[in-house]
């Protein structure tokens, strides 16, 4: 065994054994289920595999790349939402939660044994090409996707502005190729409009750091345009893949006067918490409907669950995606990071929606989806059955009478 591999082995053993020593030594380690002998054997085996790969793989393997690959595999094997982020990937994830990035505009995740589209972002090349929530991504530019390499897949979706890329999508047993050009994807986007006098509509595409502030400004604008009041509001979270948890809490808090918004349970003090609403409802109790579908995930489900449990809003649409886990991005040295699952979250009623989703109060299937508002620029309640139901749930007589004038 080479000296370098022996050093790696010592470091690995030291790190693992250090965990047990930090909580009280070998006796405590044994109580925690840590078998030091087995740990040593596995670390030796790890070093043996590295040595064999370095010596016999068909091409020379760089030590750094080999170890980084091992780290990536270790983290991604925890669950489908945990991943190692190199410096470039970490930079991308910071940008995507705070500003913009260059890509095709889809949120993807490792679901089952496939990489699937959680949601296309409104107005993006992917949305214009017709890519839908639930589509399986099987190839990029003709190169087959490796289902256990989510980070690599995301990296391949990014590129230079204006560059062309072809995504191969599997839907209903048929592979469809979609050609598109990468563009600047604006993550912070809140669309607003009036449904009729005194009734507003806001759509949130994704939860980033500024979402709650942007949403407040959008509602303020609608109220100001209507002499300071709104009699009702539709909050559209369809195909919203989620994002920053604190943003979801802040958005929920806009509409709640008191009570728990979300609770989380993890192994550390930081990962176990309760978030509650502060006093003040931006709508002063006006009627509210939240639209959701299978592409509404994570932070979207926190908002919908909080407003549903507090009877603050009627939820309309289809069952949501069902992601009830919280990921924390932890910076490492040299600009790298790991994103790992640290908590399970629960709605105010104490329910976990993981792999279940939130069931709307009013179920409305809309196989045709809904219009891309950033392109159409208008709301169409005739083509959008879920929106039509939301309008009925608000104020059926006054709105319908207003529309008929």
- Which sequence positions are flagged as catalytic? 298, 309, 323
Q: Give Dmax (Cα) for the chain.
A: 85
Rounded (to 5) percent helix, strand, coil in the chain: 35, 25, 35
Phi-psi category of residue 317: left, alpha or beta, with phi > 0 → left and psi -120 to 50 → alpha: left
Report residue 45 CA to chain centroid gap.
Answer: 36
User: Between vectors from CA 378 to CA 374 and to CA 383, what angle results, nearest 5°?
Assistant: 105
Taking a C-beta distance cutoff of 8 angstroms, is the pair 186, 218 a contact?
no
How far is it, in rounded angstroms, from Cα 103 to Cα 120?
A: 11
How far is it, in rounded angstroms, from Cα 326 to Cα 323?
A: 9
Taking a C-beta distance cutoff of 8 angstroms, is the pair 248, 327 a contact?
no
How far is it, in rounded angstroms, from Cα 367 to Cα 380?
A: 16
How far is it, in rounded angstroms, from Cα 85 to Cα 323?
A: 21
How far is it, in rounded angstroms, from Cα 44 to Cα 48?
A: 6
How is residue 103 written in tokens?
């890509």
- Of the candidates 187, 186, 190, the one whose C-alpha atom is nearest the C-alpha of residue 244 is 187
How far is it, in rounded angstroms, from Cα 285 to Cα 303?
A: 16
As to burial, measured by CB atoms within 10 angstroms (0-12 exposed, 13-18 middle, 19+ buried), residue 231 is middle
- Of the candidates 71, 61, 54, the one whose C-alpha atom is nearest the C-alpha of residue 15 is 71
How is residue 122 written in tokens?
């409104």
Phi, psi at 228, each rounded to 5°: 95, 0
How far is it, in rounded angstroms, from Cα 243 to Cα 246?
A: 9
HSE-CB for 350 with a 13 A CA cutoff: 0
Indicate the DSSP class of residue 272.
S
How is residue 129 written in tokens?
């090409």
How far is it, in rounded angstroms, from Cα 256 to Cα 253?
A: 5
């Amino acid at each position: 065994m080479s000296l370098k591999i022996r050093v790696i082995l010592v470091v690995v053993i030291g790190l693992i054994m250090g965990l047990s020593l930090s909580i009280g030594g070998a006796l405590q380690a044994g109580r925690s289920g840590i078998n030091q002998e087995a740990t040593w054997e596995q670390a030796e085996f790890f070093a043996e595999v590295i040595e064999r790969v370095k010596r016999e793989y068909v091409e020379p393997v760089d030590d750094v790349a080999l170890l980084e690959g091992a780290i990536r595999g270790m983290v991604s094997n925890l669950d489908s939402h945990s991943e190692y982020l190199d410096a470039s990937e970490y930079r991308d994830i910071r940008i995507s939660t705070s500003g913009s990035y260059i890509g095709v505009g889809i949120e993807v995740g490792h679901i089952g044994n496939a990489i699937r589209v959680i949601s296309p972002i409104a107005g993006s090349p992917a949305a214009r090409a017709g890519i839908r929530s639930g589509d399986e991504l099987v190839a990029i530019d003709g190169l087959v996707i490796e289902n256990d390499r989510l980070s690599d897949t995301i990296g391949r979706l990014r590129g230079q502005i204006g560059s062309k890329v072809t995504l191969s999508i599997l839907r209903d047993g048929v592979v469809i190729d979609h050609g598109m050009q990468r563009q600047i994807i604006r993550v912070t986007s809140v669309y607003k409009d009036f449904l009729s006098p005194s009734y507003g509509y806001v759509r949130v595409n994704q939860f980033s750091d500024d979402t709650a502030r942007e949403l407040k400004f959008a509602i303020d604008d609608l109220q100001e345009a209507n002499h300071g009041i709104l009699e009702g509001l539709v909050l559209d979270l369809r195909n919203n893949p989620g994002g920053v948890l604190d943003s979801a809490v802040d958005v929920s808090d806009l509409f709640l006067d008191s009570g728990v918004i979300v609770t989380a349970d993890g192994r550390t003090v930081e990962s176990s918490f309760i978030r509650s609403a502060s006093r003040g409802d931006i709508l002063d109790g006006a009627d509210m409907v939240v639209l959701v579908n299978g592409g509404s995930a994570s932070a979207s489900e926190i908002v919908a669950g909080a407003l549903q449990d507090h009877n603050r809003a009627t939820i309309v649409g289809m069952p949501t995606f069902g992601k009830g886990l919280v990921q924390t991005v932890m910076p490492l040295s040299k600009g790298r990071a790991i994103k790992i699952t640290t908590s399970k979250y629960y709605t105010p009623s104490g329910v976990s929606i993981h792999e279940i989703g939130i069931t709307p109060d009013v179920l409305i299937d809309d196989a045709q989806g809904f219009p891309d508002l950033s392109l159409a620029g208008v709301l169409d309640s005739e083509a959008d059955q879920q929106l039509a139901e939301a309008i009925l749930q608000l104020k059926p007589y006054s709105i319908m009478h207003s529309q008929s004038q």
